[in-house]
Every structure is written in structure tokens, then in C-alpha cells.
């Protein structure tokens, strides 16, 4: 099968699942507010590291972030095998999150994708795209308005992760950056 890659084919979703139907991982989903995330990890709202991250003002374009280490909280059994979850926020809502696993080691990312897809009712591994140059370790599923990346690697699978990203939030952030760049360019080109 001959595939021609252009800008349009790169952006074409391979699944028609919408954000509202995006998978939930241990109660976590895109669009949550930080307090909803913290409620899943009793005690996390008292964690000085988490509190410090959440107390920082959002950056220039409305982004902020924080991380949770499930082993530190009462709900650790629900998140067994997960080392850390990193959350990126846009305007106070989760725009993407990365779940970092402690393993297991997979001989090929397809096995990890198959397990994840089965647990979350996502399309089977044949609908996921390999990341060029990392065919055996990184696969991507582009849906209508979100994408999921699954990576398998590291000693004993200690670098395994699942990243879920809200594509609409990403577009909003990119538009803000572009507008700021255009404004800065036009401001520097004005005669003084």
C-alpha cells in the first residue's frame, strides 16, 4: 500500500471518538479541574510540592502544570504500577496528562497498545500509527479532537508512558502564541 504523507494526512484522525468519549484512566480525564484531580488522590491537596505547583500563577498564555506521585497517597492501590502522572493545564483545565508506568517491559509497543486499547475500549492496534523512527516503541492514535501516545521502553519498562492530549486546547494555545509572535513582530516593525 502506497501512502503519500502531506500536511492534511498528518492531521486526519484515525478514529472518530470525540473528547467527551475519551478514555478515563483511573478516574482521570481531559478537561478536569485540578481540584477534581486531587480528589482522586486523598492527601494530595496537603502535599507541599503539589500545593507549590498549583499556587504558581499561570504562564503568559494560560498554561500551568503539576505532578502527582500516586505512591504517596491513600489511593495508591488504585494506581498500582504508576510512578508519576504529570498534568498540563490550560485556563485551569487539564489539557494533557502523561501517566508514567513502572513497567512491565514489552518487546514491542504493540503489546502495550493492545492492553491499553482493550482496557479503554479504544480502536485496536492496527489503527494506531507508528512514530517514524520509533516504530517498535511509540504509537499514536489521533481521534477527532484528542490524541493518545503510547510509549514502551526503558529497563524493565520503567519509561513506559501514556500521554493523552486535548487537540482543541493545543490549537487554542498555539493560536495565542502565534498572535503574540505576530504582535511582537508588528510592534518591532513600526517606525519609531
Over residues 109-122, the pLDDT tens digits come to 999 999 999 999 89
Q: Which cell numbers in the block locate residue 133?
A: 523512527
In Å, how far are 37, 39, 50, 60, 120 from 149, measured between CA atoms? 21, 25, 25, 27, 14
Tell me: pLDDT of 131 over 80: yes
What was the pLDDT predicted at 11?
Answer: 57
12 versus 54: the higher-pLDDT residue is 54
C-alpha to C-alpha distance for 82 and 64, rounded to whole angstroms: 22
Q: The C-alpha cell of 165 is what?
A: 492530549
Return mean pLDDT, the chain.
Answer: 90
Banded model confidence at residue 10, pLDDT cuts 50, 70, 90: low
Is residue 186 within 8 A of residue 132, CB to CB? The reply is no
pLDDT digits (tens, 9 = 90+) for 32-70: 999 999 999 999 999 999 999 999 999 999 999 999 999
What's the pTM? 0.88
Do residues 181 and 110 make contact, with C-beta atoms less than 8 angstroms apart? Answer: no
Residue reference for cell 486531587:
38
Q: How far apart are CA 118 and CA 125, in angstroms?
A: 10
Amino acid at each position: 500500500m502506497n501512502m503519500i504523507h502531506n500536511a492534511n494526512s498528518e492531521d486526519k484522525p484515525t478514529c472518530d471518538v470525540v473528547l467527551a468519549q475519551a478514555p478515563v484512566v483511573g478516574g482521570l480525564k481531559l478537561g478536569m479541574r485540578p481540584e477534581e484531580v486531587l480528589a482522586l488522590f486523598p492527601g494530595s491537596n496537603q502535599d507541599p510540592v503539589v500545593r507549590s505547583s498549583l499556587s504558581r500563577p499561570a504562564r503568559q498564555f494560560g498554561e500551568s502544570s503539576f505532578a502527582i506521585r500516586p505512591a504517596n497517597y491513600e489511593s495508591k492501590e488504585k494506581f498500582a504500577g504508576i510512578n508519576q502522572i504529570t498534568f498540563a493545564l490550560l485556563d485551569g483545565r487539564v489539557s494533557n496528562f502523561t501517566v508514567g508506568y513502572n513497567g512491565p517491559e514489552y518487546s514491542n509497543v504493540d503489546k502495550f497498545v493492545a492492553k491499553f486499547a482493550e482496557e479503554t475500549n479504544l480502536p485496536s492496534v492496527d489503527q494506531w500509527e507508528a512514530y517514524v523512527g520509533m516504530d517498535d516503541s511509540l504509537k499514536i492514535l489521533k481521534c477527532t479532537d484528542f490524541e493518545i501516545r503510547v510509549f514502551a521502553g526503558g529497563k524493565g519498562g520503567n519509561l513506559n508512558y501514556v500521554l493523552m492530549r486535548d487537540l482543541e486546547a493545543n490549537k487554542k494555545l498555539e493560536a495565542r502564541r502565534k498572535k503574540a509572535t505576530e504582535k511582537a513582530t508588528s510592534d518591532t516593525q513600526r517606525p519609531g
